[in-house]
Amino acid sequence: MRNNILLPLVILLCLHFPSISQDSISAEVEKYVSHPRGSYLLQNLTLVDGTGQPARRNQDILINGEYIAEIGQDLDIPENTRVIDMNGRSAMPGMVMLHEHLFYPKSTPEANYGVDQMSFSFPKLYLAGGVTSMRTGGSIMPQADVSIKQWIDEGRIIGPKMDVTSPHMDRVGVPIMEMFNFDSPEEAVRQVNFYADLGMTSIKVYNFLTREDLKAIVDAAHARNMKVTGHLCSITYREAADIGIDNIEHGFGSCPDFVENKVADQCYPFMVPGLLASDPGSEEVTGLIRHLIENNVAMTTTINVWEPYTGREIVPGGGLVALAPTAKHMVYQRWASMQGKDSVAIAQFNKLKLLDKQFHDAGGLLVAGTDPTYDGRIVAGYANMRLLEIFIEMGFTLPEAVMICTYNGARYLDLDETIGTLEKGKLADIVIMKEDITKNVSAIRSEKIVFKNGIGYNSRALFEAVKGYVGIR
């Protein structure tokens, strides 16, 4: 009997979700395609190629299938190639962003913080913002994130290529009900292996774990070919580097090394005074940066998270239009109540701008991520565009800013042979902007063709598709 009841459902599911081969795309994805896979000669572009080298003008890019076949001036036109004059437009590699999430915050009366999964809107928004590859920086619905990655790879839904990170691994401490905790290094190792078996490829650790926990997690993760990143609090950056962590999140924004009289393995959530008192020129700071670099620890700046309220956009990057009415209300209330009252946040933002840049300038691998959490002002896609603008505010040159958002991310993920720069032989992951980014970094907000694996998608159509839905789906 049971079988009889289930059978129609199974047939229905099969009809509804035809199996799709690796290289095909569904009608759902097709809607956003402006340039189907083929052969294109894109002429007269201004290129910022991701290597950190100065921009080049009057460049042609030849795309053949999934790959960049050639880049140079006045390229010959091969047979069966569509020629497109891109005069006035500019191009950079697809962004490779390393602290993204597929969730958005909500306020709850039961716990002071919570998030909702945005499986439907965020993958579209990331791609629309120019992100062609991303690592999630912690998952709230691990099975959903793994599944979304698979659906994107199979061409069923649209979004960037993904490196999926585990849920935030931690001991009890952070009052977020949706987080899962462990109480021994053995249990932590069991969770690492569980996440690896699920198909996750990175591990994220959080605020309250001990050094012993971290050591066990790092060893277990490395044995499974996974890298470990941390938003730390109980463990200092110096200690984490000694233990063998691969990456530290939030730049110096969650750095416990400057907390006075810090007790080992103990989290002090209020790290701002130590941070504000830290002197960028001191041995305390320069020595720590040197120690991280010597131990091959990459640092992810999420400087946009600290963007102050006063006189700034409500949702930086232009993302207010994306929010559902309830989310808009929540974000606006907070933003309005903080106008003129965020002097500490402004000081913190300015200090972090110095320190995160100092890590890069000293030769550290600085990577970028936007971390759409906190107060709801950070919206996928829009925040990625905004982060590039903030990098210019920080004093980075445009080629440096682009490199941090592209090549550096690819280097961290060990994917720099295939993505991260505009070079012959690499995958055609290319952001073509309607305006010239060398004239104004905000050209990143102009309409884009986002090529991923040689297929061009229209950013406007993607943004339009989810306008008013962030916070709901």
Binding site for Zn ion (CB under 5 A): 137, 371
According to the 3-state scheme, what is the secondary structure of 413-430? CCCCCCCCCCCCCCECCE
**Looking at beta carbons only, is 50 or 316 nearer to Zn ion?**
316
DSSP string of 68-90, one letter each residue: EEEEESS----TT-EEEE-TT-E
Whole-number minimum distance, CB 429 to Zn ion, in Å? 24
Residue partners of 101: CB distance under 8 A and separation at least 6: 115, 122, 136, 137, 138, 139, 140, 371, 372, 373, 380
With tokens 């297929």, the residue in question is 455
Specify the residue, 140 or 275, whose C-beta has the smaller distance to Zn ion: 140
Minimum CB separation of residue 26 from Zn ion in Å reads: 30
Instruction: Find where tokens 């063998």 sit.
Output: 244
Determine the Cα–Cα distance for residues 65 and 228; give it in Å rounded to an integer. Answer: 34
Please identify the residue of the shown chain whose CB is closest to the bound Zn ion: 371
- For residue 205, which amino acid is it? V
Q: Which is nearer to Zn ion, 130 or 137 (CB)?
A: 137
Please name every residue paired with 218 in a beta bridge, in sequence order, or none if there are none: none
| 3-state helix, strand and coil shares in percent for the chain, rounded to the nearest 5 | 35, 20, 40
Smaller CB separation from Zn ion, 50 or 230? 230
Give the span between the Cα atoms of 384 and 363, in whole angstroms. Answer: 23
Residue 154 Cβ, how far from Zn ion at the closest point, in Å? 27
- CB 128 to Zn ion: min, Å: 20
C-alpha–C-alpha distance, residues 305 and 42, integer Å: 36
Nearer to Zn ion, 137 or 185 (CB): 137
Tell the smallest beta-carbon distance from residue 372 to Zn ion (Å). 8
Nearest distance from C-beta of residue 297 to Zn ion, angstroms: 18
**Closest CB 137 distance from Zn ion, rounded Å:** 4
> Which residue shows structure tokens 């460049």?
59
Long-range contacts of 337-345 (CB under 8 A, 24+ apart): 338/309, 338/310, 339/309, 339/310, 339/311, 340/310, 341/309, 341/310, 342/308, 342/309, 342/310, 344/272, 344/276, 345/306, 345/308, 345/309
Of the pair 45, 140, the CB lying nearest Zn ion is at: 140
- Judged by beta carbon, residue 163 or residue 371, the one nearer Zn ion is 371
The residue among 137 and 160 lying less far from Zn ion, judged by its C-beta, is 137
Min. distance of Cβ 462 from Zn ion in angstroms? 23
The overall longest dimension of the chain from CA atoms, in Å, is 75
CB-nearer residue toward Zn ion: 40 or 237:
237
- Any idea what DSSP says for residue 369? -
In angstroms, give the least distance from the CB of 179 to Zn ion.
12
Which residue, 367 or 431, has its beta carbon nearer to Zn ion? 367
Q: How many CB atoms lie within 10 A of CB 14?
A: 10
Torsion of CA 183, 185, 186, 190, to 10 degrees: 90
Q: Shortest gap between Cβ of 182 and Zn ion (angstroms)?
A: 19
